[in-house]
């Protein structure tokens, strides 16, 4: 299809976990839009152009292949594509700021602001700018101020369209989302810009699932959604600690409370804790905003969600050390899983990073196995390489180990031959199930000393 046959040019700045899959889905569902994704990272763009995609996400390659070269393109030429774009999604990273005011809490907006300035410098015509990145509430206002300082007579309408996909299920989340949220200024122009974005999604999502609202509510909803999700995990994890003391079983408690339709069963799996690039960062952001407005009690309430997560990770490592007779120096310990959750290679903020660091501090020899995350794990652990080994085969990873710790709930780890694993381990052999995915009684009967989360341990001594 030649350029003239496309009804609109969409550009996305940032070809990461959000920009790549989201734009691939839009392109696949809307053949009349030309969708281009740009990134400053040339290697990443090259990977998107080939079949060795830079991220692992089930079903993603098929969607990319459907549209790539037809109406989906990947490029490093940001300037040229800003010029020709009608709609620009900005999907750059917004990590926690690690310096200056708000360090460790607020979002680092340097990548975000740079894109605003790039757009401002290069643009020659009116554009709709879509906040796809997760941003502190009222960031759109700052974006609009920067953009409206152009003096070129160009109009920019800033719209907030936060992304709710979850890694590991990104494609089904994008194809069939619970809702899509589009916020804009409540002006004639604002509403028109918002409708242009709604029209894109309406190509495959029914209109009753596309929610529109003012821009501040849209921005805040994303932070609050992540805070609520993380809060459920911290809530059940806090109860897991109590279960371990009282011999109650957290799985049974979760099931009993989750059957209450007001509570629901999702996000009630006790575990080693949440990870991923978003939960911690977005809650910290919420905390920072609350503090900024003097809402100290509200800030403290949400900060505790993070504190319980850290407590849970710490408890897990302490349990390992304590169970193994308070010394793990020179002991081989196999970690099954390094990704922050199953079905992704993403290791950002993965509890496994913390666990490995703590075990290495105790001079253990840590062997990591993961079906998709070893490349990222190597990067994460480059400062403690002498204590760490990587092994693609879980059986080899566990060979000669004193303990296996399950840190990611990959299906693969549920179906391994644990009898074979046990036979090749040092004795007594320990299994710490940080995701509660195994049949603990069966594992105990094989001979392991088993330490689940939120249930009493099963020990042979
Ligand atoms: N990962 C998720 O599951 C998820 C879900 C919902 C929302 N979000 C939010 O979406 C945003 C992006 O997250 P991500 O996980 O895709 O991050 P990412 O780090 O995977 O991708 C961001 C990309 O932006 C690129 N980039 C940065 N500055 C640029 C610039 N000036 N020009 C061009 N490219 C630039 C980076 O090179 C990187 O490839 C964040 O705000 C995040 O909070 C993430």
CB of 341 shorter than 6 A to ligand 1: no
Position 141 scores a pLDDT of 86
Position 3 scores a pLDDT of 63
Q: What integer is the mean pLDDT of 21-26?
A: 98
Position 62 scores a pLDDT of 98
The answer to whether 3-205 and 308-451 have equal CATH topology is: yes
DSSP letter, residue 372: S
Lowest mean pLDDT among 1-5, 93-97, 106-110, 142-146: 1-5
Residues annotated as catalytic are 278
Q: Where are the domains of the chain?
A: 3-205, 308-451
State what percent of residues in the chain have pLDDT above 70: 99
* CATH of range 3-205; options 3.20.20.70, 3.40.50.720, 1.25.40.10, 3.40.50.300: 3.40.50.720
The two three-digit tokens of residue 375, written as one number = 């490349």
Position 142 scores a pLDDT of 86
Alpha-carbon distance of 111 to 31, in angstroms, equals 30
Do the strands 8-13 and 449-451 form a parallel or antiparallel pair, or are they unpaired? unpaired
The two three-digit tokens of residue 10, written as one number = 């969409």
DSSP letter, residue 107: B
More confident residue, 3 or 438: 438
Given the CA of residue 132, which atom of ligand 1 is nearest to it? 10
Position 1 scores a pLDDT of 53
Position 137 scores a pLDDT of 86
95-121 confidence digits (pLDDT tens)? 999 999 889 988 899 999 999 999 999
Alpha-carbon distance of 111 to 351, in angstroms, equals 26
Identify the residue whose tokens are 């699932």: 209
| Residue 24 alpha carbon to ligand 1 centre in Å | 15
Position 407 scores a pLDDT of 98
| Residue 335 alpha carbon to ligand 1 centre in Å | 28
pLDDT band at residue 148 under the 50/70/90 scheme: confident
Residue 123 pLDDT > 90, yes or no? yes
Identify the residue whose tokens are 């007001």: 262
Position 361 scores a pLDDT of 97
Is the torsion defined by CA of 48, 52, 56, 57 positive or negative?
A: positive
- Ligand 1 pocket check: which of 24, 38, 39 to mutate, most ligand atoms within 8 Å of Cβ? 39
Position 2 scores a pLDDT of 55
- The answer to whether residues 52 and 46 touch, using CB atoms and an 8 Å cutoff, is no
End-to-end Cα distance, the chain: 71
CB of 15 shorter than 6 A to ligand 1: yes
Residue 151 pLDDT > 90, yes or no? no
| Residue 100 alpha carbon to ligand 1 centre in Å | 22
Give the number of other Cβ atoms within 10 Å of residue 451's Cβ.
24
Please confirm whether the linkage preceding 428 is cis (ω < 30° from 0): yes
26-44 confidence digits (pLDDT tens)? 999 999 999 999 999 999 9
279-333 confidence digits (pLDDT tens)? 999 999 999 999 999 999 999 999 999 999 999 999 999 999 999 999 999 999 9
Nearest to 335 by CA among 387, 285, 295: 387
Give the number of other Cβ atoms within 10 Å of residue 26's Cβ.
22
Position 140 scores a pLDDT of 87
- Provide DSSP, 321-352: HHHTTT--TT-EEEEE--SSSTT----TT-HH
Residue 145 pLDDT > 90, yes or no? no
85 CB-side CA count, 13 A: 28
CB of 278 shorter than 6 A to ligand 1: yes
* CATH of range 308-451; options 2.40.420.20, 1.10.10.10, 3.40.50.720, 3.40.50.620: 3.40.50.720
The two three-digit tokens of residue 160, written as one number = 């907030």
Per-residue burial over 98-119, b = 16 or more CB atoms within 10 Å of its CB, e = otherwise: eeeebeebbbbbebbeebbebb
Alpha-carbon distance of 433 to 407, in angstroms, equals 7
């Amino acid at each position: 299809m030649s350029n003239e046959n496309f009804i609109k040019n969409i550009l996305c700045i940032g070809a990461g976990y959000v920009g790549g899959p989201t734009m691939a889905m839009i392109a696949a569902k809307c053949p009349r839009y030309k969708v281009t994704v740009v990134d400053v990272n040339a290697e990443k763009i090259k990977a998107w152009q080939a079949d060795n995609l830079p991220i692992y996400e089930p079903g993603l390659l098929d969607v990319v292949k459907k549209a790539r070269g037809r109406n989906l393109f990947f490029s490093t030429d940001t300037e040229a594509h800003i010029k020709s774009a009608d709609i620009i999604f900005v999907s750059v990273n917004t990590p926690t700021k690690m310096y200056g005011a708000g360090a460790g809490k607020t979002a680092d907006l340097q990548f975000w602001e740079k894109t605003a300035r790039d757009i401002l410098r290069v643009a020659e015509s009116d554009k709709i700018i879509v906040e796809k990145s997760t941003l502190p509430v009222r960031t759109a206002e700052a974006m609009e101020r920067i953009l409206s300082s152009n003096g070129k007579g160009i109009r920019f309408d800033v719209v907030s369209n936060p992304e709710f996909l979850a890694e590991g299920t990104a494609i089904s989340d994008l194809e069939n989302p619970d809702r899509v949220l589009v916020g804009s200024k409540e002006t004639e122009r604002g509403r028109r810009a918002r409708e242009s974005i709604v029209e894109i999604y309406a190509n495959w999502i029914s209109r009753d699932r596309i929610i529109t609202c003012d821009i501040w509510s849209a921005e805040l909803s994303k932070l609050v959604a992540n805070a609520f999700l993380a809060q459920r995990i911290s809530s059940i994890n806090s109860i897991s600690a109590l279960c371990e003391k009282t011999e109650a079983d957290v799985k049974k408690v979760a099931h009993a409370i989750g059957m209450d339709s007001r509570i629901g069963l999702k996000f009630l799996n006790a575990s080693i804790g949440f990870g991923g690039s978003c939960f911690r960062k977005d809650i910290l952001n919420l905390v920072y905003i609350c503090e900024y407005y003097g809402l100290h009690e509200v800030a403290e309430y949400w900060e505790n969600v993070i504190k319980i997560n850290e407590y849970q990770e710490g408890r897990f490592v302490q349990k390992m050390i304590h169970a193994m007779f308070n010394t793990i120096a020179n002991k081989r310990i196999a970690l099954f899983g390094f990704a922050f959750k199953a079905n992704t290679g993403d290791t950002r903020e993965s509890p496994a990073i913390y666990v490995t660091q703590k075990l290495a501090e105790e001079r253990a020899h840590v062997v990591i196995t993961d079906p998709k995350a070893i490349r990222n794990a190597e990067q994460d652990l480059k400062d403690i390489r002498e204590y760490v080994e990587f092994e693609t085969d879980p059986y080899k990873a566990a060979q000669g180990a004193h303990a296996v710790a399950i840190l990611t709930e990959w299906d693969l780890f549920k179906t391994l031959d644990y009898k074979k694993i046990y036979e090749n381990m040092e004795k007594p052999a320990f299994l710490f199930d940080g995701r509660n995915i195994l049949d603990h009684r069966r594992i105990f009967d094989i001979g392991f000393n088993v330490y689940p989360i939120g249930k009493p341990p099963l020990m042979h001594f």
